[in-house]
Homo-oligomer: A and B are copies of this chain.
Amino acid sequence: MARAHWGCCPWLVLLCACAWGHPKPADLGGQDVRNCSTNPPYLPVTVVNTTVSLTALRQQMQTQNLSAYIIPDTDAHMNEYIGQHDERRAWITGFTGSAGTAVVTMKKAAVWTDSRYWTQAERQMDCNWELHKEVGTTPIVTWLLTEIPAGGCVGFDPFLLSIDTWESYNLALQGSNRQLVSITTNLVDLVWGSERPPVPNQPIYALQEAFTGSTWQEKVSGVRSQMQKHQKAPTAVLLSALEETAWLFNLRASDIPYNPFFYSYTLLTVSSIRLFANKSRFSSETLSYLNSSCTGPMCVQIEDYSQVRDSIQAYALGDVRIWIGTSYTMYGIYEVIPKEKLVTDTYSPVMMTKAVKNSKEQALLKASHVRDAVAVIRYLVWLEKNVPKGTVDEFSGAELVDKFRGEEQFSSGPSFETISASGLNAALAHYSPTKELNRKLSSDEMYLLDSGGQYWDGTTDITRTVHWGTPSAFQKEAYTRVLIGNIDLSRLIFPAATSGRMVEAFARRALWDAGLNYGHGTGHGIGNFLCVHEWPVGFQSNNIAMAKGMFTSIEPGYYKDGEFGIRLEDVALVVEAKTKYPGSYLTFEVVSFVPYDRNLIDVSLLSPEHLQYLNRYYQTIREKVGPELQRRQLLEEFKWLQQHTEPLAARAPDTASWASVLVVSTLAILGWSL
């Protein structure tokens, strides 16, 4: 899990925010918030003065004859993490939270955001801005209808609204005599001017062949073959998500945080390949790798990123059918394609193909997880020694685990902002420490670490929760129930093509049994040096059915407000299951290789099957990570690993069970009387 959960793309963040049981505003170190009802208003030092930029924006709106202008929190590719130059909503409002929509009229300005961010918004926004504690398009439109006159126009940047979001605005405004107006020039950018951070321009590079599952030519042929088989015979596939283009061509860059992508689109037709990106960013080797100087069906023509809308519009004039993935294509592309020329699916064939890793990709992802385990184990060993000294805090800890990962081969930085949370902070939904605001780690508290790395061969994501002192009975029980949930789902055997949604409750049953639960999802897909939250694999209702070769995280948790938080997250490969009777069945093979905390396991809650599973898993960890630690001369870590993967022994359960029944029988047979 990471700050913006469960989606490589933020279109799902909201779902997650709502699913979390009791979202809490991040602790901003006190309640020093604005008070706009006094005269003059009280404004904390954290507030940004937006009067000048709002005036300038309203001038732009007047030029366009707009009564209102919508400023969403998205970029043009529905990225989960967006670049600074795309943080338009943050810049115009002062409010930097990752979720929230702003709307400006000629007289008013307002922000809609969810409860995680209410305090933050009150600390960052000046009194030009109303704060609306609601989400979704409905309250925005309700407000618009009272604020702008009949006949008024509501402007928006069509590259910042997904098709779905546009449709919901459009539907809500229908018959209201207010009109949605698509304006391709972003008005905030005009006002932002030279202050706007530059669009990234680092080199775009090809992955070494050792780190790719197939060549880009093989991938292109595969997609074309899917186009041919499709009953609507699309003539082209349009790729809008950055991960699609990165995956298809085995290209990477670092345009956005945590994800090794570059701004791009691809229009892959039956006879051509058109890659929209800044050509100057490719080296001559990369251009040659892409066959960019020829014009045949296996030559990549590079066109300027800014040309994509016009080029699609021109292409759509022909006798064509363009296949798009509707969940992440923006309205700015969608509106230039006539409806009858669209072939729509929720996810493009690239997204669907990418979801299933071939055997080489599987091996690469597994290998990255072995090295990742080394980094995490080094950190856990270090913590065990240093936490009792009282010198470690959440932030320095996060820095250290990031450093250890950075020392691993093929490392390319963290895959999301490390969640390093001690005590009560671990119960907060979206907590990450900062240099200024963090908590000391202590032997008296539980500590939750949710972190991951980007490596050339794979992306990782793992959560472990530890306690170095004496956990309470309730902490042990909750931890063990979370662990049982992780095990029950991991060892589940289920029919091929079962949807994750149908089975995720197995990760919750042991908690439910005692009246406990967690308010977030149970897992997400993960990529090969791609998104750490890779769609469309996972356990939510909008995820696709499970298939052999997919990777997903499995991450039940439990959070006690104001006290502690537990999450145990592993990445698992979907593999064929061998069943007693023949059939097409699947199960999971866990590829995260860090032992759980023995100090927190109440063995009496585990069934023989749980113990058997756990001990087999520990054996696998020894086999995979042990040799790697030895090879690296990490002998202290090796010793720690051996200790922490000692087989767990059965302990008598409290409740009547087979055990007591059989002991009684055995004694009875032996002629003993009790």
Contact = CB atoms under 8 A, between A and B. Distances in A.
Contacts of A495: 512, 517
| Copies of the polypeptide in the assembly | 2
B515 A581 contact: yes
A185 interface: no
A455 to B, nearest CB: 34
Most buried by B among A514, A515, A658: A658
B663 A579 contact: no
Contacts of A517: 495, 583
A493 interface: yes
Given A505-B505, A514-B580, A663 B663 contact: yes
A585 B509 contact: no
A661 interface: yes
Interface stretch (A394-402, A564-572, A649-657): A649-657
A492 interface: yes
A146 B504 CA distance: 46
A494 interface: yes
B579 A515 contact: yes
A583 to B, nearest CB: 4
Contacts of A655: 608
Given A501-B502, A509-B492, A653 B663 contact: no
Interface string A493-532: 1110010011111100100111111000000000000000
A67 B657 CA distance: 72
A175 interface: yes
A666 B652 CA distance: 11
A186 to B, nearest CB: 34
Interface string A477-498: 0000000000000001111001
Interface in A631-661: 650, 652-653, 655-661
Contacts of A659: 658-659, 661-662
Contact of A501 (B340, B501, B607, B652): B501
A612 to B, nearest CB: 8
A52 interface: no
A45 interface: no
Interface string A515-554: 1110000000000000000000000010000000000000
Contacts of A662: 652, 658-660, 662-663
Contacts of A504: 502
A658 B506 CA distance: 22
B505 A585 contact: no
A583 B511 CA distance: 12
Contacts of A317: none
A585 B515 contact: yes
A505 B658 CA distance: 26
Given A505-B506, A663-B666, 17 more contacts: A493-B512, A495-B512, A501-B501, A506-B506, A512-B579, A514-B581, A515-B579, A515-B582, A515-B583, A516-B581, A516-B583, A650-B661, A658-B659, A658-B662, A659-B659, A662-B663, A670-B670
Interface of A: 175, 340, 492-495, 498, 501-506, 509, 512-517, 541, 577, 579-583, 585, 607-608, 612, 650, 652-653, 655-663, 666-667, 670
6 closest cross-chain pairs (CB), A and B: A515-B579, A515-B581, A515-B583, A658-B659, A659-B662, A608-B657
15 contacts: A493-B513, A494-B505, A494-B512, A502-B504, A503-B505, A515-B579, A516-B581, A608-B661, A612-B656, A652-B658, A659-B659, A659-B662, A662-B663, A666-B666, A666-B667
